[in-house]
Structure 1
């Protein structure tokens, strides 16, 4: 196994680079987390005590 790793170092780094590129593509396609905020409304719903 050590001979393969030493002899095919270029192949090893090419495969590692391909995985990094694939990771970048996957992360770029994931939707960004968004916060849904409606103007004029509180993010915390009112309680019964607050509405009295």
Structure 2
């Protein structure tokens, strides 16, 4: 069952420190790699393709 709690830090918070901030809340509970590995893996892969 997915948690409805808000993340403790958001992209809005990090924009005060970095020019290019992207983020999404995962649709899972605490163990993201085990519960929803495809989402973060896809985001990381897309990011690395852009910066390389």
> Computing the radius of gyration over CA atoms, which structure comes out larger, 1 or 2?
1
Q: Shorter-chain-normalised TM-score: which range?
A: 0.3 to 0.5
Higher RCO, 1 vs 2 (CA within 8 Å, ≥6 residues apart):
2
| Greater fraction helix | 1
TM-score for the superposition, normalised by structure 1? 0.34
